[in-house]
Structure 1
Amino acid sequence: MPSLSLQRFALLGLPNFRWFFTGQLVSLLGSSMAPVALAFAVLNASGSTGDLGIVVTARMVPLLGFLLLGGAVADRFPRRTVLLLANLGSGVTQGGVAALLLTGSYSLGPIAALSLLNGVLDAFTTPALRGVLPQLVDRDRLRQANPLLGSMRNATKILGPSLSGVLVVAFGGGPAIAFDALTFLLAALCLARLSLTDRMPAARGTGMLTSLREGWTEFRRIRWVWTVALSFCVINLVQVGTWQILGPSLTKQVSGEAAWGFVLSARGVGLLLTSALMYRVTVRHLLRLGQSVTALGALPLLALGAGLHAPWLIAAAFVAGLGSSVVGIGWDTSLQEHVPAEVLSRVSSFDDLLSYLAIPIGQLSVGPLAHAFGGFRVATAAGVVYAVAAVAPLASAAVRRLPHGDPEPDGATPAASVTTGAR
């Protein structure tokens, strides 16, 4: 039997996967740099946090509004083409933002409009990405491909923000945004090298509204999908706003400003280590394992709520990162193995929409709740709710018993047997 290192080399030796991996590497590196660069560029140019809030919101709203359409399009048309056009469009829009910043022509309206277009393009990219991987590798290699992609993704999350910070300090936000635009164009070139056979007969023979209804019907039909999706809707509701808004504030009160950066880095290291480990292990019930370790994500919230000092909070964030990586790999692989290929992007878009909708609600609610009850109490309550929501899906036999590589309990045909792939 070949060694694991040779298996990994063989996976990267597949031309389609190698081009996809390279394109994702450069694109994600640029995308991980962009938020830091854009935040400082807008703040430096406008001096207004209100402008920054408008720009961020302008990107999120169309992402939510067009996700379902993006899923239907990715199931209806060749996913390589969808990704190619979306990356080209993102390169152009980010290039426009960079041009405004580099020429000193900052204006809120054009920047917000370009951010809105970026959000629309993201809505088409996300479902297509999850659907195209099974077209690149055989189903028995999905459990190697997803951890490998996860390791790369998590590495860019660690490297990208730091690199962006250096560029912003040395040259300003414009060059960093310009680099992001270039990475989208390079990713498009890599996608253009893919050689795939796209067949989506079920989606192409129907109207768009009918296609959306079919996706919703499939999403509701597969019990383990909507059960886990509801769980993460609750998790995002209590976690994202608490972590992003209260996290820095409460950490500063207890341990000082510098501690928060170490906390975020520790979580990133945990993500990277586990994604590398997942490449080397085989788990029969991957979804069950993922849901079990999801509860580890509650630890940093509970540590915040308890007012623990930096070493304990850093350790909690590291452990949470270990669990989060398992969850992401387990979820992507389970969807790709068990959801029919011709509806995979639509089912994924309903899952993503349900999860993303909860984020702005939580972000808007956490401030008033902290004012009414105190930040430490809100963080503690969020940690408790997070833990309960994480393990609740394990009460369902469909979640506990979903195996590796076999048809899922509700009878869906494995993705790899429906077409030549997806994602």
Structure 2
Amino acid sequence: MPGTSPTTSSRSPRRPAWAGRNYSLLTAAAVVTGLGSHGALVASAFAVLEAGGDGGDVGLVAAARTLPLVLFLLIGGAVSDRLPRHHVMVAANVLNCLSQAAFAVLVLTGEPRLWHMMVLAALGGTGQAFFSPAAEGMLMSSVDGENAGRAFAMFRMAMQGAALGGAALGGAMVAAIGPGWVLAADAAAFALAGALRAFLDVGHIPPRAPGGGLLADLRDGWREFAGRPWLWGIVVQFSIANAVVAAADAVYGPLVARDHLGGAGPWGLALGAFGAGTVAGALLMTRWKPRRLLLAGTLCVFPLALPSAALAVPVPTGVLYGVMFLAGATVEVSGVSWMTALHQEIPEHKLSRVAAYDWFGSVALVPLATAAAGPTEDAFGRTAALWGCAGLVVLVTAAVLCVPDVRDLRRRTTPIAQGGSDAASADAERPVGGLG
């Protein structure tokens, strides 16, 4: 709905005029769960180790969470466009709350078995698969077109700040009171966030037209996705880029830090510099509104190759911190531009299905890449593997610039076809190819 916000009737003088009730509730809830979840990532790893597991067991628990996330994302997107999104979000929060609470009880009352932890992690991943597309669709429908870029930048800045704070706080709490209580705190965070999201107002969202079933919705989402070259091109780009960056960060980075940089401390500071960079990038995007959204965003992906290259050399720690900060800042510019383009171009009633394909592309190859990192290092050497990671980021980013819509899609102040019924109606009004 151009020019209107679902929350114009309850604005507070303490927040910007564009930050209505829904947006404020979504941001507050996201900060709460961000603090809890990033602390819980640290806690779950130490819970496995304290139960007698090793690094391989930590990886199995992480994989148990990722697998259902990949398997159920597309279904989650279709369900989120069929049902009220806030109901899907609250239900997912309840599942995450219960699974984390059970995990905490197991850790606090005895020695949890590996399969117990894997099952509970899988339940958490399932909840995330349904939550993420619903949350992205709900966020995009909570702001108007003119203020979308600034709103997404502020939201992402809050999220990145919560991630930084949650990881640091979680590590300190694990050391002070043990992983079980950190997992319990995460369960409480999901409960609080679910309560906040229960108050979301969906009165501004048009009623869903009766559809032909879940499979029909999945096919419709695929047509929406596949019919837009800029959309699937960038999703494929990030599917590969995210995978190789994850391999560099999760596998090669700690090894390089151990052998050349002084151990875990400097590597932790490097990851912190990347997180600080994302906050700076989001802050920049509250002011900067690039006219060619996807062109600016794609150009800002190239620096994501620099951390892998820096590790391949390897550079001194001070240089590495600067490189990581730059990469974090520029990739956040890309992220805000991407969300603004989705908000502008995708009909409201299909946002969650498209978001599901976006999320699926972001995570699908990560487990494969991290699993293949060790064998790749054995076959080609660590330095060659890291240069390969950097080269792939550059290659796929250059390739996506060959898509005309990526170069030419322009910013507008109103989203398109929000009341439309199909991709064709949206494409008919889309200013691409240098038009608009």
TM range (shorter): over 0.9
CA offset digits 1:144-185 (Å, max 9, x no partner) = 210111110110121111100110011000111111111111
Given the alignment, which residue of 311, 319, 336 partners 1:312?
319
Runs of 4+ aligned residues of structure 1 deviating over 6 Å after TM superposition are none
1:380 is matched with 387
- For the residues of structure 2 that align with 1:248 and 1:267, how far apart are their CA atoms? 15
Contact 1:233–1:354 (Cα < 8 Å) also in 2: yes
2:137 is matched with 131
CA offset digits 1:71-124 (Å, max 9, x no partner) = 000111110111011111111111111111111241222221111111111100
Amino acid at match of 1:292: L
1:7-406 matches, within 5 Å, as: 9-11=15-17, 14-197=20-203, 198-202=205-209, 204-257=210-263, 258-405=265-412
- For the residues of structure 2 that align with 1:389 and 1:308, how far apart are their CA atoms? 25
- For the residues of structure 1 that align with 2:13 and 2:337, how far apart are their CA atoms? 20
* Bigger mean CA deviation after superposition, 178-187 or 275-284: 275-284
**Higher helix fraction (1 or 2):** 1
Displacement after TM superposition at 1:319 (Å): 0.7
Partner of 1:322, secondary structure, is helix
Partner of 1:395, secondary structure, is coil
Displacement after TM superposition at 1:40 (Å): 0.7
- For the residues of structure 1 that align with 2:318 and 2:262, how far apart are their CA atoms? 12
Amino acid at match of 1:32: H
Partner of 1:365, secondary structure, is helix
CA offset digits 1:123-151 (Å, max 9, x no partner) = 00111111012332222221121011111
* Bigger mean CA deviation after superposition, 115-124 or 8-17: 8-17
Instruction: Describe the shift of the 1:270–1:13 C-alpha distance in structure 2 as closer, same or farther (beyond 3 A).
Output: closer
Displacement after TM superposition at 1:417 (Å): 4.7
Instruction: Describe the shift of the 1:170–1:72 C-alpha distance in structure 2 as closer, same or farther (beyond 3 A).
Output: same
Contact 2:275–2:328 (Cα < 8 Å) also in 1: yes
Contact 1:250–1:304 (Cα < 8 Å) also in 2: yes
CA offset digits 1:230-262 (Å, max 9, x no partner) = 111221232211221001101222211021111
CA offset digits 1:171-222 (Å, max 9, x no partner) = 00011111111111101111111111243534x4221111101111111001
Corresponding pairs, count: 408
Amino acid at match of 1:170: A
Contact 1:140–1:405 (Cα < 8 Å) also in 2: yes
- For the residues of structure 1 that align with 2:145 and 2:13, how far apart are their CA atoms? 15
Contact 1:338–1:405 (Cα < 8 Å) also in 2: no
Amino acid at match of 1:251: A
CA offset digits 1:288-346 (Å, max 9, x no partner) = 11100100110111111112121111111111011111111111121111111121111
Unpaired stretches in structure 2, ≥5 consecutive residues: 1-11, 422-436
1:410 is matched with none
Amino acid at match of 2:390: G
Displacement after TM superposition at 1:347 (Å): 1.6
Instruction: Describe the shift of the 1:398–1:89 C-alpha distance in structure 2 as closer, same or farther (beyond 3 A).
Output: same
- For the residues of structure 2 that align with 1:368 and 1:100, how far apart are their CA atoms? 35
* Bigger mean CA deviation after superposition, 267-276 or 49-58: 49-58
- The share of aligned pairs that are identical, in percent, is 33
Unpaired stretches in structure 1, ≥5 consecutive residues: 1-5, 408-412
* Bigger mean CA deviation after superposition, 100-109 or 274-283: 100-109
* Bigger mean CA deviation after superposition, 346-355 or 223-232: 346-355
TM-score, normalised to structure 1's length? 0.92
- For the residues of structure 1 that align with 2:340 and 2:14, how far apart are their CA atoms? 17
- For the residues of structure 2 that align with 1:230 and 1:255, how far apart are their CA atoms? 33
Instruction: Describe the shift of the 1:95–1:12 C-alpha distance in structure 2 as closer, same or farther (beyond 3 A).
Output: farther
TM-score, normalised to structure 2's length? 0.90
Amino acid at match of 2:315: L
- For the residues of structure 2 that align with 1:268 and 1:65, how far apart are their CA atoms? 28
Contact 2:146–2:413 (Cα < 8 Å) also in 1: no
2:434 is matched with none
Partner of 2:311, secondary structure, is helix
Amino acid at match of 1:304: L
Amino acid at match of 1:211: D
Instruction: Describe the shift of the 1:402–1:386 C-alpha distance in structure 2 as closer, same or farther (beyond 3 A).
Output: same
Instruction: Describe the shift of the 1:192–1:260 C-alpha distance in structure 2 as closer, same or farther (beyond 3 A).
Output: same
* Bigger mean CA deviation after superposition, 228-237 or 121-130: 228-237
Partner of 2:397, secondary structure, is helix
Instruction: Describe the shift of the 1:148–1:350 C-alpha distance in structure 2 as closer, same or farther (beyond 3 A).
Output: same
CA offset digits 1:27-61 (Å, max 9, x no partner) = 11111111101101111112333332221111111
Instruction: Describe the shift of the 1:26–1:111 C-alpha distance in structure 2 as closer, same or farther (beyond 3 A).
Output: same
Contact 1:131–1:345 (Cα < 8 Å) also in 2: yes
Displacement after TM superposition at 1:11 (Å): 4.4
Contact 1:200–1:342 (Cα < 8 Å) also in 2: no
Contact 1:84–1:188 (Cα < 8 Å) also in 2: yes
